[in-house]
Structure 1
Amino acid sequence: MLEYGWAYGTGGTALHGKELVLAVSPGADNYGREKFAKYTVHELLRPLQAMSRLVGMDFKVPFITVGASSIGKAEIAQQAKKYDTYLHETALPTLGDFD
């Protein structure tokens, strides 16, 4: 997908202007500077943000469900509603909102 001349570099404009939308559901809930992982999920996604910039994509703020392996059915249903809202917003939050 990220081939020189197709996605980036000379003549590589195939992904320019496309949106990169991520939905991430890490099983653990220990993400954060004060927690075991020492990094937020957003920080761990920075390489994908950098790649999107390289290929000219519009990186959107990821939809994240932390602790997915231990949440109950009610919380899953609530996250599903939030995700539906997230996907159907007129304008998803952009890179500038994520920085």
Structure 2
Amino acid sequence: MFGPDICGYSTKKVHVIFTYKGKNLLIKKEIKCKDDEFTHLYTLILNPDNTYEVRIDTEKVESGKLEEDWDFTVPKRIPDPNANKPPPQSIFCSCLTEN
């Protein structure tokens, strides 16, 4: 799904939603839409190198990589909730001590 969403005074954004494996994936970025009395042309360009552009009235307002701006795949690094930070190491230099 792609296009502007203007609801009252608070919601004025462009939706870019893909359906992947039965789930609707929303873009992570906030894209503001035009809110005036004129008609506007909204364009979504998907490139073969997995990049995209969102244009409003032929002007580029957002661009990026599909894998960075949507959660299509599992994150490359999953945080371990059981991991602990190592204790801080004290730095001792014998050249700074007085005899």
TM-score class, shorter: under 0.3
TM-score when normalising by structure 1: 0.27
Higher relative contact order (CA 8 A, sep 6+): 1
TM-score when normalising by structure 2: 0.27
Higher strand share: 2
When Rg is computed on C-alpha atoms for both structures, the one with the higher figure is: 2
Higher helix share: 1
